[in-house]
Structure 1
C-alpha cells in the first residue's frame, strides 16, 4: 500500500512540475525580448556574463567571470555592432539579460564569407526556447549580410548545445583536443559549421 501511495505522490509531483514548467515557458515566450545589444546594456551584459560563468563549465571563462570594465564592454559592443558582418544580441526579460549571442565576421577579404558565433543562456532558462530565439536572430542576420558559413566551438560533452546546433543543420568538422583546461583537467571541443549558401 505504501508503494502505491508513493507512486501516486510521484505522479502528482510530476504533473505539478510539468504544469509549472509549461506556465513558465508560456510566460517566457510572451515576455522575452531579443534585440541587438546597445552601449547602454554594458553593465547588464557584464552582470550576465559573471553569473553565467559561475553556472556552467561550457564557457571560455568560469565563476571568476570576465575582467572587462563597463567601458571596455561598451567598446566591445560598439566594435561588434559597427562591423558590417557582426552583431551582438541579448535576450531580455523584465529588465534582466538572460541570454547573449554574437556573430563576428572575418575581415580579410578571402575569408570574409565566414563568421563565428557564440551563444549562452542563464541556467534557469535552459530548455525554454531562448537559445533557439537567439540562434534564429544570428542566422537571419548572417543571411542578411551575405555570410555563407557560420562556425562555432562547443565542448564535446555539451550535449544540449550540440543538439540545438544540429537541429539548425550545423555539422561537426573537427575536434580540438584539450581545448579547455578547467581545474587542471582538459576537455575537448568540436568545431561545427553551418553552410548558408
Structure 2
C-alpha cells in the first residue's frame, strides 16, 4: 500500500518520508548492508541475508500492491537514509496484524527519522484496520524500547538468549505489540 509523502524539518535537517518505489531499490540494497554493519541492534551482520536491487524491486512492487504491507523510505536530498517495512499476512486468521521493522543510517540517528517512520506506520495501520502491530527488539536497545512504549507498544514476551553478539554473550529479544484501540 502507498501513503502520501510528508516532509519533516528536525534540528536543521530536512527529509521526507514516502512510500518506496522501484527507483529506490539500488539505494536500499546498499544502505541495508551499511545499517546492518553499524549496530548490533539489527538481526543480521553486515552482508548477511543480502537482498540485491532486483530483490528490493520485487518487494516494493508487492508491498505497494498489497493492502496488508507498507514499505516506507526516508529520503534526504534525493538519497535514501532510512526505511521501514510492515509485512502483513493474507491468511484470514492472521490478516489483522503486521510486523514492523526499521533501519536508519547511524549518521542520521537523533533526527526523529525512526520515530516518524513509526508514526506514519501507526497511522497507516489504524486507517487500514490493522488491529495489531508487532516487532522484536534487542533487550539492550533501551532507547527503541522506550520509543515503542511511548507509542502504545507493550511487551508480549521475551525470547531468552536469542542473539549472540560480538562480545560472545547471548542476549534476549523482546517481543512487543501495539493494539488498535
Secondary structure of 1:42's counterpart equals helix
Equivalent residues of 1:51, 1:65 under 8 A apart: no
Moved more, 57-66 or 132-141: 57-66
Q: Aligned-pair distance for 1:101?
A: 0.7
Equivalent residues of 2:88, 2:98 under 8 A apart: yes
Gaps in structure 1 of 5+ consecutive residues: 1-23
- TM-score for both structures, normalised by structure 1: 0.82
Whether 1:26 and 2:11 are equivalent positions in the alignment is yes
Please provide the CA RMSD for this pair: 1.6
Q: Aligned-pair distance for 1:92?
A: 0.6
Total equivalences in the alignment:
172
Whether 1:155 and 2:138 are equivalent positions in the alignment is yes
Q: Aligned-pair distance for 1:95?
A: 2.0
Paired residues for 1:72-87 under 5 Å: 72-87=55-70
Equivalent residues of 1:49, 1:65 under 8 A apart: no
Secondary structure of 2:164's counterpart equals strand
- Structure 1 match to 2:4: none
Assess, with a 3 A threshold, how the Cα gap between structure 1 residues 164 and 176 changes in structure 2: closer, same or farther.
same
Match of 1:126 among 101, 109, 125: 109
Instruction: Give the structure with the higher percent strand.
Output: 2
Whether 1:192 and 2:176 are equivalent positions in the alignment is yes
- TM-score for both structures, normalised by structure 2: 0.89
- Structure 2 match to 1:109: 92
Whether 1:70 and 2:53 are equivalent positions in the alignment is yes
Equivalent residues of 1:54, 1:65 under 8 A apart: no
Equivalent residues of 1:113, 1:147 under 8 A apart: yes
